[in-house]
Amino acid sequence: MSTLPVIAAVDGSDDSLRALDWALAAARGRGVPLRVVHVRQYAAWAQPDVLVAGAPDQDEDPVLDEVRGRLGPAPDVEYLGREGVPAAVLPELGAEAQLLVLGSRGRGGFASLLLGSNGMAVARDAECPVVVVPRPGRAVHGDAPTEPGPRVVVGLQTDSPDEATLSFAFTEAALRGARLQVIAAYAWPLQSWAMPGELVPEMIDQGAVENETWTLAEGFLAPHRKAHPGVRAEAYAMPGDAAGLLVAASRDADLVVVGRHRRRLLAPARMIGSVTQAVLLHAASPVAVIPPTPPDD
């Protein structure tokens, strides 16, 4: 396993302190250091350079001082101060981390926003997986298969599976001793166009579509099951919207894992897909956003 640190982005807000607690547990579960980062934000128009060389005087950083007091003496925790725009600085720091954790909204966030702009930008641009920790008590609607005990949820697109997302989900479930719930959504009812403006329902049995989706999912899971024999992974082929199913499954889950975006030949290198964005905005549990596997891999 990588020895790179887990990064917790803090700004003194309650949201970031919840993310700090999550990141500390994740770092210790992995046996790696925790790096606590505070980015002092300035007006982008006032200083054109996004990242100032060298760290500010950390002894004069009240946010980092608060975290030191909260965590107490901890040899496996390091502190780093930076100046710049958090949405630009944090993704760059992610190149030297195995995981970057932040709250759903930090200081200065608009009360009407469920996810701050920094969180969305970091989830989109960081080179490492990003975990966004939501505020407690977020209500979700819809039905999804659940059971007591620790549970990790991962979304699987059977037409374009991402191995990095599945690998992260299995590893996280193994670290937590959790069950892995794999949600493979399929569209139903199916429809096709016969003539302009005329819809004709497909004469396809739903059971056949569901069985094919489940069979494909099981095939993609096979190598990961072999790599993690101790993880109990169950695939669910379910009709409906993938985002809605994942949000429903987030109720009482430890973590929901999603890929950053669906692979498309002409898509920009960094973007957030609509399903991932919806899950970030509405899931009740922490959400891990996994960057796609580089093409060379």
Reported as type and span, the H/E element at residue 35 is strand 34-40
Q: CA-based angle 134:257:37, to the nearest 5?
A: 55
Name the stretches of the chain with pLDDT < 70: 1, 42-59, 106-117, 190-203, 262-270, 294-297
Reported as type and span, the H/E element at residue 246 is helix 242-249
List every span in the chain annotated with CATH 3.40.50.620. 6-133, 151-290
Task: Report pLDDT for 129.
Answer: 96
Task: Report pLDDT for 207.
Answer: 86
Task: Report pLDDT for 147.
Answer: 77
Task: Report pLDDT for 134.
Answer: 92
Task: Report pLDDT for 48.
Answer: 42
User: Hey, what CATH class is 6-133 in?
Assistant: alpha beta
CATH architecture of the domain covering 151-290: 3-Layer(aba) Sandwich (3.40)
pTM of the model: 0.85
Q: What is the pLDDT of residues 214-246, one digit of tens each?
A: 999 999 999 999 999 999 999 999 998 999 999
